[in-house]
Amino acid sequence: MSEEGGFGISIAERFFGLIVLAIGLISIYYTLTSAETLLAFTGFFGFLSLILIILGIVLITAKAE
């Protein structure tokens, strides 16, 4: 395989990581600001938001081969 395609994939991976990180940050913000409405589901949606944040960070810092 050629090395030319690796650069575009690396940028796409980092861009997708930024999008996932932004979605995770926005979702945790809305989860914490509406905690009184969510009641018992605050922990569940907070956990899902943290998973998105961690996934975004992993995608940004991952090294493309």
Over the stretch 29-55, which tens digit does the pLDDT of each residue have? 999 999 999 999 999 999 999 999 999
Quote the pTM value: 0.83
CA distance 37 to 21: 24
Whole-number average pLDDT of the chain: 90
User: In this prediction, what percent of the chain has a pLDDT beyond 90?
Assistant: 74
- Residue-range domain boundaries for the chain: 4-61
Cα within 13 Å of Cα(23), Cβ side: 13
